[in-house]
Amino acid sequence: MTPIRILVIDDDRLMRSSLVDLFEAVGWTVKSLARATDAQRWVSQFQPDVILSDVRMPEMSGIELLQSLNGAPPVVLISAHGDIPMAVEAMNLGAYSFVEKPYDPKRLISILSHAADQHQMRESNQRLKDRLQQLSGLDQVILGQTPEMVRLRDMIAMLAGNDAAVLLHGETGTGKELVARALHDISARCDGPYIAINAAQLSADQLPLVARSADGGTLFLDEICACPLELQPLLLRLIDTQEILDTDQGAPEKMNIRVVSATNEDTDLAMKDGRLRADLLYRLDGVGLHLPPLRTRHDDVALLVLRFMQQFAAQLGCDAPDLSDADLADLMAHDWPGNVRELRNVAQRRVMMAQYGFGAMPDAISGVSIDRFERSGLRAGVAAFERQMIGKAIATHEGRMEDVAAALGIGRRTLNEKIVKLGLDKSALL
């Protein structure tokens, strides 16, 4: 999270000064105002993460300010004249919290920190969602805003305009077939066939059938370094002359095929080992594109995981879970040996876990089976729901247990029993 920016509004000069000193002492950036009528302009210019406003002020009260802001950023109201009806009205109108003067500095800092953190997280998620909505064309397919991915998209766009052979280099899971498909989809061959096949599993007898299927379009050969040696002269001829020689026919058959190949191996080493013919490599590698591993572009991780979670959530007909600070930290700490493919699987597991009300990002990353959560059954699902509801009520009502019980519609004794049974830590929620 970035440093907290707080807008303080209080017509009492000494109180304003005291609050500014307190917040600057903890490293926050503070802007103070004497009247709420100036707040709208400063919200736009200063862009605070949270507003702390007095309630009783001339011209515009804190309650009126709250109504004018429509909930963004969060507003915490403070008043020496606070009473229960005023607090209830403030909360009903969308105030994050209500604090009475004289205030406890530690408690005030805690409330404002939570409010600011939630706002920053929502803003971060919204920026990612907005970015996804703005994406178009290649941006929708080859996601990422790091310089390597921008250059990769530029190269794909340039190469789509010709028929040069392309060799894609990249680790497993970096999206080589996705790039091959993009090269086809935005080219003049887009209405023709796109045939993808593992070169290691291709035989000489199969090659004429595959070539005919790809005629007029694009042939994608994955794992080209594992291509059988006896097949390599036929591939070389196909690329060089656009001809295929059927073993049952004497005359070659003309083709119109663009060949895109891919490998996760060192092609020079494969050539030295005699597994890949040098002349074939030179034909395949008309243009080489290198796909960066995910561990070198961590700045793209949040964008990618949010996109994938949105996709899977749409398939399940549910909302994608938000990304918390802890989620982002876990994602950034992971090395992603399986690259984008692994990240996509993590996103799918996280959405499925959210459907059951269980699990967190570390569970999704470690590959915890969703079956474990499915077997927990209805009782565990109800417990998770109660834990969420009670925890939210405790935070909303700042630990005032009578108010929490009333909001939940249960007795105080029942509430205490549930807190113990569910293992809730009240202090951690405030």
pLDDT per residue as tens digits for the range 240-299: 999 987 756 667 889 999 999 999 999 999 999 999 999 999 999 889 999 999 999 988
Name the nearest CA neighbour of 424 among 360, 321, 416.
416
- Half-sphere exposure in the Cβ direction for 81 (13 Å, CA): 6
* Domain harbouring 261, CATH code: 3.40.50.300
Residue 98 shares a structural domain with residue 228: no
**What is the tens place of the pLDDT at every residue in 52-92?**
998 888 888 888 888 888 767 899 998 876 666 777 777 88
* The last residue of a domain, from among 133, 160, 195: 133
Least confident of 144-153, 201-210, 237-246, 380-389: 380-389
Residue 158 shares a structural domain with residue 287: yes
Residue 60 shares a structural domain with residue 123: yes
Q: What's the pLDDT score for residue 421?
A: 78
Residue 127 shares a structural domain with residue 84: yes
* CA 337, 343, 344, 345 torsion-angle sign: positive
Query: Looking at the 3D structure of the chain, how many domains does it have?
Result: 4
Q: What's the pLDDT score for residue 378?
A: 46
Per-residue pLDDT at 235 exceeds 50: yes
Q: From start to end of 251-374, where are the E strands?
A: 253-254, 258-263, 287-290
CB 218 within 8 A of CB 184: yes
Please tell me whether residue 195 adopts helix, strand or coil conformation: strand
Greater confidence, 32 or 355? 32
* The last residue of a domain, from among 88, 109, 133: 133
Residue 112 shares a structural domain with residue 148: no
Say which residues have a Cβ less than 8 Å from residue 243's Cβ, sequence separation at least 6.
237, 252, 253, 254, 255
Distance CA 262, CA 173 (A): 12
Q: What's the pLDDT score for residue 323?
A: 84
Residue 412 shares a structural domain with residue 322: no
Residue 344 dihedral angles phi and psi, to the nearest 5°: -65, -40
* Domain harbouring 77, CATH code: 3.40.50.2300
Residue 368 shares a structural domain with residue 389: no
Per-residue pLDDT at 132 exceeds 60: no
Range of the domain at 208: 138-292
Residue 99 dihedral angles phi and psi, to the nearest 5°: -125, 135
CB 15 within 8 A of CB 38: no
**Averaged confidence pLDDT in the chain:** 85
Predicted confidence band of residue 342 (pLDDT cuts 50, 70, 90): very high
Least confident of 2-16, 50-64, 158-172, 387-401: 387-401
Q: What's the pLDDT score for residue 216?
A: 94
Residue 275 shares a structural domain with residue 147: yes
**pTM check: above 0.95:** no
Q: What's the pLDDT score for residue 2?
A: 62
How confident is the model over 179-186, as a mean pLDDT? 90
Residue 309 shares a structural domain with residue 203: no
Residue 255 shares a structural domain with residue 144: yes
Per-residue pLDDT at 190 exceeds 80: yes
